[in-house]
Structure 1
Amino acid sequence: MKMESCCVGILAGSLISLLLPAIPDWYWPLSLLFICIPLRCWFGAGLCLYLTSLSIQLQQYSTTSQQVLAQHSTIVAGTVVSIAQHYDGGSRFILQLSETVKDKAQPGAGALLLVRWFQAPVKLQQGQQWQLPVKLKVIRGLANPGSGWAEAQALVSGLVAQATVQSSGELAEPKLLGADISLRQQLFNQLDVALGDFQSKALILALTLGERPFSDELWLGLQATGLGHLISISGMHIALVFGWVLLSQYGWALLTKRWWWRFSLALGTALLAAWLYSAMAGYAVPTVRALLALVLLVLLKLCWRRSSGRQFCLLVAALLLLLQPFWLLSLSFWLSVLAVALVFYLGWRYPPAKGMRSMLLGFLRYQLIFSLLMLPLGLLFFQGIAPLSLLSNLLFVPWCSLLVIPLLLLVFFLQSFCPWPLTLLWQLVDVLLQPLLLWLHYCAEANWWWSVPQSGVVFTLLLMAALLLLLLPVRNRSLPLLMVLSLPLLFTINLKPAAQLHLIDVGQGTAVLLQQGKHGLLYDFGPRYGSYSATEAAVLPYLRYQGVHQLDYLILSHNDSDHSGHLALLRRAYPGARLVTDVAAVMPELNCRQLPAVWQQFSLQVLWPPGPAVSDVKNDQSCVLKLEIEGWSVLLTGDISSATEQKLMAFNPELGTNVLLLSHHGSKSSNQLRFLQQLAPRLALNSAGFANPYQHPSKEVQARLSLLQVPLYNSADMGAMQLRFSKEQLELKAVRPTRLVKWLENLPFGAETAATTR
């Protein structure tokens, strides 16, 4: 009971820490720990133990990060510790800082940097040592509801900063210090040659070395089928390797004398095989977690300690969180804990029977219950469900676990010692993976992924409650189950949807969504450079999350890459949307002046340009749009300059607005004081990237707004922003201030909500 209470306390401490505004210094929970132990308050001891571990590691991470980021531009030296990812014109890899650089001690030695190198002169290899001139930046991702959290992912992965290699020679030229490459890189190169142009090459690389060079279509297929866990090396794969090696020796160990010694050797061999597989996967976080859990299991077996499934799950989860307290921010960690707990629960609830038929029924039961339980979790965390998940898992989990993966790893093992490609064996693996590959391509093309808007969260929680009632060992579940499932009827009242404006966080660019229920109008589509587009990374997920089923209009203000985004992708996703722009090259249906005066509840007025080609400067060709809703007005100005601002005031002497989206992301060449004085906005919004090279919004513009006492809300600090309009007030909500883990955010200003009343 002592250990169980302590483990529960550790888990409780991890969950409580999510709600704390700040993590206390380590000596406070440590002091309380020494009070709890004499009082035998084991729950409190576990809670304090976790908070102490979290505080110490967070302080170490912060100190290292500050040391590394002390200089914006500097020279770093280190070792490439990941297999480089190559994309259009650039490479991305992880660099571990060495002890010295240029014969001097290097700040933050041992820290990990996420490095981007555009136009690298050589092919980067894991294990190489480089001296690089870089520009350093805090890791800070986009902040949109329903999207990933880059800061949390960096903390889980141990990355302290991101760096961009400067090839201009301002500091020094990049220099290769050591050309040796790692064993994992050698195996990758060998496998890359052996596989040639096999169709299943990406799947084989994912299942052997944990590298996932998947196409967009393959990613969509994995999402639509719910088979991502099968292709990404995780706890299931590590456990399978451990189980295969153990079973291959277990029977022989029991038949020989001194079976206990043989059994111990079998456990050690199986653990070694699992460790080697984890190493080949680059010690990815899920594989490390699984490996630590197996080490604990082996130790319990060797020490003859019996433990129930509940005790084992508690002990594993608690120890993992103590060793790596940042894993509480990892969704995959909690899903793994849930999956293991479910296995033990089903083993207790439905004891396994002998015979192939009973084993098959048990497998079907597990897959059914697990798939049903994953549905609400998918709704809650990924804003959608994969309706073919159950069928896909029933078909391909046994196929891959019992046949494909064992053969694939055996061929990979042989290939590691063979100097020439084992072409025939790899062809056999490729043939066995074809059914899975065809299924993934079919589901991607058929779009078997159902997006569920934000409003589905309430129903999600109710569905989870209903499933839990079904799983609980109680006799009469019909009444409470009926009560839970009838609650959605309370939410079927057809309320009039509120009109909203969303400033999507797309970094250094613009994307504004007007929404009325399931209908939307999109003004600009975010930036695009190389293979990256904010349209794909931020805009489309945001539209799905908000439940926008129909985009009526796509308005492109002007033809700049930070506004035009990936237009073709948008048009494929919403083929019924009409394109409105003066950019003839994209073949619009309407020019800016043909935009209807009314859309849903919004009144629309195009103030600029008065006609085609009024300026040789494309920024001054921006479509300036004024919106009116519920007596409130919003002005979207694109990238117009101060000269165009003067013309706008001349053409519209009474022009004013309640909300202003700053021109040109807050550039000092726009947003002149006289223009701001005439508009007299109550709120100013700005869309800019964090620590952008243009220093938008400029200090001059901030000073002008401060002089006029106009509050400024910048997407780099606030994340995505949502304006709700009603006759009484205008309310603004932002993502970053409302995130759950306050101590992970470091906002210089801002509040959870801001409101302006008449």
Structure 2
Amino acid sequence: MLALAAGLLLLRFLPQLPPVWVSVLICLVGITILPSRCRLLGCFLVGVGWACLSAQWALTDRLGQDMDGRTFWLEGRVIGLPDTRDGVVRFELTEVSSRHSGLPSRLRLAWYDGPAINAGERWRLAAKLKRPRGLVNPHSFDYEAWLLARRIGASGTVKAGERMSQTGEGETWRDRLRQRLMMIDAQGRSGAVAALVVGDDSGLSSSDWRVLQDTGTVHLMVISGQHVGMLAGLLYGLVALLARWGLWPHRLSWLPFACALALLGALAYGWLAGFEVPVQRALVMVGLVLVWRLRFRHLGVWLPFLIALVAVLLLDPLVGLQSGFWLSFLAVALLVLIFRGRLGSVSAWRALGRAQWSMALGLLPILLALGLPVSISGPLVNLFAVPLVSAVIVPLSLLGTSLLWLPAIGEPLLWIAGGLLEFLFSTLQWFAGWQPAWLPASLPLWGWALVALGVFIILLPAGVPFRALGVVFLAPLVFPPSSGPAEGLAQIWVFDVGQGLSVLVRTREHALLYDAGPRYGDFDIGERVVFPSMRSLGLSRLDLMLLSHADSDHAGGALSIQRQMPPARVISGEPERLPRLKGVGPCRSGERWEWNGVSFMLWQWPMARNGNQLSCVLLIEAKGERMLLTGDIDVQAEHALMASEMPINVRWLLVPHHGSRSSSSSAFIEATGAEGALVSRGMHNAFGHPHPEVVARLRASGAQVHDTAEQGAMLIRLGSFGTVQGLRAKRRFWREK
């Protein structure tokens, strides 16, 4: 089983997939040698071959290149629970049919200001479809891998549609229950109750998720294996107590009924949760333990763990692309290592305390590898949050939901559960304010290996000598290797933020952020992309945040950056339009300074009449190599810049206004003489950026155009006269170039 699991998990680390015939051959070779002494190798090869074939089938079901960005009429059935936030309805569609052949069998769609959509309904829709594509930044969330793991072949935006019919009673019933729960009086926490009962997290706000992340309690607000196992244990214990108290019929054996009730309860809860990966793992393990208990045998722990691991991976090898898969199984493995074979009895509270600090430490290497934040307060918070949620709130929520047909009983139970959830979130908010989550810098492989070794040594049993030496190996966490440029050079990152702009400029000892990316309603690119990227690059402070102007696509993420990494100074071309930011100063044209041998100069057109023309322009020079960051200036501002004292003959030009037709005049492009033109924009954006005429003018001048939508985040080492490095060039089999 270990060899088979290793082969299945290898898929996650492949830069590209072998051809289908090679995958089939690998499977056949593995099956052929299974009866021989090389059965371990055979199991490994079977796992590799099956995983590659499964991934190939998922990639084949993606939207074709020739259909990317086109609008189609199609029909399909809504699956899962539609999510409505900020006036946008997001849902998944399956059983897709259209007169156009080649459409994927599963789509993820968004309908702005759309009608109410329920699970199980069939819709006829006009939707603009896009191939799976996400933002690519240092250690950011990989949206393309997430889509592939869910076997979604395209995303899109609905333009129009009509409801055809309503089918699929199972999904419809689950959706109706979700809607019923959202309508109850749960002291303002009906969304959290729905999350615990049916696995729907749309009722939790971004601030709720931030608090859960800061306190390491995200696992409590999703239906996890912990909740499933607790429910099965409660149902089993209920029958066992009735038998012990003499209340169970003597002619019936209580054990089969206890096992059956526990398994049925776990399956029902898993169905409500939508059978996500942690739930699948828990169901397999609970089922195996109950079967062995029914036979009066001791199963052990590792066998059900391995069976669950292999079963989940065989069912769908692509789950290895999800962070939740790794965290779920590694958390269980850690608990087994911590408590398996330990001598002596331990009280429940001591066991819980040992589990929490061991989990916090043991999961550290995988959190580092996945680029996820680490909660400092998590071990302390979970001491009271885990028993409160698992033993009190979840049973109350499930009991109240099951008794909703008796409103006089069910609704008060849910009201109590909501009150306890409100108390929980209030407490968590205090802890989050006291100690927010820590996002460590990404480490090189050798640094990560040292940390993992140190964690392993510390978690060894108490009788093992020299365990304290493990702390020494954690040094790369406290003193991460320097990733900044040398004296006289500048490291410039043009982040992939979609239709917006954010550029990080680093010298040996200083850092400047030029624009902070956009914000769309509750989705803040500054919080989700820019800040995590800066932290993963080893940045702990900002000397200056320069916001070219106040438009949302440039300054939308500034507030979250100021909250999470307060800059020493903030300036903007339009400070009066940024009242929520603290201490914003004006852009002073002609201001110059030098950091570690790298010079900087600002310019702003004094005759500007609108926000774009007021953009604060930044010139950077390192060892004679220059780069010009232009914000959203238009043709008139460009002519004023050419007439100014700023030297604009540069090697790198950040194309004004994302390549808008109103900017990048031929005269300006010729005056800059740029060899490389950088465009920051979103794929299939509504503005048509960059305009074909602008691209044609740039290429006619001899400039090479580099595009974040095509290349992901881009790195330039200013002063070394090198080339652009795009992160999308780093091979991943699920990622398009």
Relative to the length of structure 1, the TM-score reads: 0.85
Compute the displacement of 1:481 (Å): 3.8
1:340-355 to structure 2, matched below 5 A, reads: 340-351=332-343, 353=345
CA distance in 2, matches of 1:664, 1:576: 27
Q: What's 1:80 paired with? A: 78
Q: Secondary structure at the match of 2:90?
A: strand
Deviations 1:361-418 (A, max 9, x none): 3333222322222344444434543221111111221222222322222122112x33
Compute the displacement of 1:345 (Å): 2.1
Q: Which moved more, 1:663-672 or 1:88-97?
A: 663-672
Compute the displacement of 1:193 (Å): 2.4
Residue identity in the other structure for 2:542: L
Compute the displacement of 1:307 (Å): 5.1
CA distance in 2, matches of 1:152, 1:493: 29
How many residue pairs match? The answer is 721
CA gap of 1:406–1:517, structure 2 versus 1, over 3 A, is farther
1:256-267 to structure 2, matched below 5 A, reads: 263-267=255-259
Q: Which moved more, 1:534-543 or 1:261-270?
A: 261-270
Compute the displacement of 1:153 (Å): 0.9
Whether the 8 Å CA contact 2:441–2:480 is kept in 1: the answer is no
Counterpart check, 1:484 vs 2:480: no
Q: What's 1:450 paired with? A: 438
Counterpart check, 1:392 vs 2:381: yes
CA distance in 2, matches of 1:457, 1:214: 36
Counterpart check, 1:192 vs 2:175: no
Q: What's 2:504 paired with? A: 513
CA distance in 2, matches of 1:627, 1:30: 55
Q: Which moved more, 1:482-491 or 1:671-680?
A: 482-491
Q: Which moved more, 1:89-98 or 1:9-18?
A: 9-18
Counterpart check, 1:247 vs 2:237: yes
Counterpart check, 1:438 vs 2:426: yes
Residue identity in the other structure for 1:338: L
Whether the 8 Å CA contact 2:491–2:715 is kept in 1: the answer is yes
CA distance in 2, matches of 1:67, 1:678: 41
1:213-224 to structure 2, matched below 5 A, reads: 213-224=203-214
- Percent identity reads 28
CA distance in 2, matches of 1:489, 1:221: 24
CA distance in 2, matches of 1:125, 1:252: 41
Q: Secondary structure at the match of 1:656?
A: coil
Q: What's 1:339 paired with? A: 331
Q: What's 2:53 paired with? A: 56
Compute the displacement of 1:178 (Å): 3.2
Compute the displacement of 1:490 (Å): 8.8
Residue identity in the other structure for 1:500: Q
Q: Which moved more, 1:291-300 or 1:232-241?
A: 291-300
C-alpha RMSD over aligned residues? 3.5
**Paired residue for 1:23, among 18, 35, 39?**
18
CA gap of 1:550–1:594, structure 2 versus 1, over 3 A, is farther
Residue identity in the other structure for 2:325: F
Compute the displacement of 1:708 (Å): 4.9
CA gap of 1:553–1:276, structure 2 versus 1, over 3 A, is same
CA distance in 2, matches of 1:375, 1:204: 30
Counterpart check, 1:119 vs 2:113: yes
Counterpart check, 1:537 vs 2:537: no
CA distance in 2, matches of 1:653, 1:395: 61
CA distance in 2, matches of 1:490, 1:386: 19
Deviations 1:33-60 (A, max 9, x none): 2432253422222222222322332232
CA gap of 1:155–1:296, structure 2 versus 1, over 3 A, is farther
Whether the 8 Å CA contact 1:69–1:137 is kept in 2: the answer is no
CA distance in 2, matches of 1:488, 1:240: 35
**Paired residue for 1:207, among 196, 212, 217?**
196
Compute the displacement of 1:651 (Å): 4.4
Q: Secondary structure at the match of 1:11?
A: helix
1:143-542 to structure 2, matched below 5 A, reads: 143-167=136-160, 173-178=161-166, 182-195=172-185, 198-212=187-201, 213-250=203-240, 263-298=255-290, 308-351=300-343, 353=345, 358-382=347-371, 384-415=373-404, 417-418=405-406, 422-454=410-442, 461-472=449-460, 475-477=464-466, 481=470, 484=473, 499-516=490-507, 519-542=510-533
CA gap of 1:577–1:570, structure 2 versus 1, over 3 A, is farther
Whether the 8 Å CA contact 2:550–2:573 is kept in 1: the answer is no
Compute the displacement of 1:259 (Å): 10
Q: Secondary structure at the match of 2:535?
A: helix
CA distance in 2, matches of 1:398, 1:278: 20
CA distance in 2, matches of 1:476, 1:50: 38
Whether the 8 Å CA contact 2:655–2:678 is kept in 1: the answer is yes
Residue identity in the other structure for 1:401: S
Residue identity in the other structure for 1:396: A
Q: Which moved more, 1:540-549 or 1:84-93?
A: 540-549
Q: Secondary structure at the match of 2:80?
A: coil
CA gap of 1:562–1:333, structure 2 versus 1, over 3 A, is same
Residue identity in the other structure for 1:29: I
1:550-629 to structure 2, matched below 5 A, reads: 550-573=541-564, 574=566, 576-582=568-574, 584-586=576-578, 589-594=584-589, 596-601=591-596, 602-609=598-605, 611-613=606-608, 615=609, 618-629=611-622
CA gap of 1:430–1:475, structure 2 versus 1, over 3 A, is closer
CA distance in 2, matches of 1:373, 1:456: 19
CA distance in 2, matches of 1:653, 1:472: 63
Compute the displacement of 1:164 (Å): 0.7
Compute the displacement of 1:144 (Å): 1.5
Residue identity in the other structure for 1:335: L
Q: Which moved more, 1:85-94 or 1:674-683?
A: 674-683
Whether the 8 Å CA contact 2:281–2:309 is kept in 1: the answer is no
Deviations 1:426-475 (A, max 9, x none): 33323433442221121233353233333698765433312211334674
CA gap of 1:335–1:440, structure 2 versus 1, over 3 A, is same
Whether the 8 Å CA contact 1:218–1:440 is kept in 2: the answer is no
CA distance in 1, matches of 2:419, 2:634: 60
Unaligned runs of 5+ in 1: 168-172, 748-758
CA gap of 1:418–1:96, structure 2 versus 1, over 3 A, is farther
Q: Secondary structure at the match of 1:174?
A: strand
Whether the 8 Å CA contact 1:76–1:131 is kept in 2: the answer is yes
CA distance in 1, matches of 2:206, 2:680: 28
Relative to the length of structure 2, the TM-score reads: 0.87
Q: Which moved more, 1:663-672 or 1:451-460?
A: 451-460
**Paired residue for 1:43, among 40, 44, 48?**
40
Q: Secondary structure at the match of 1:182?
A: helix
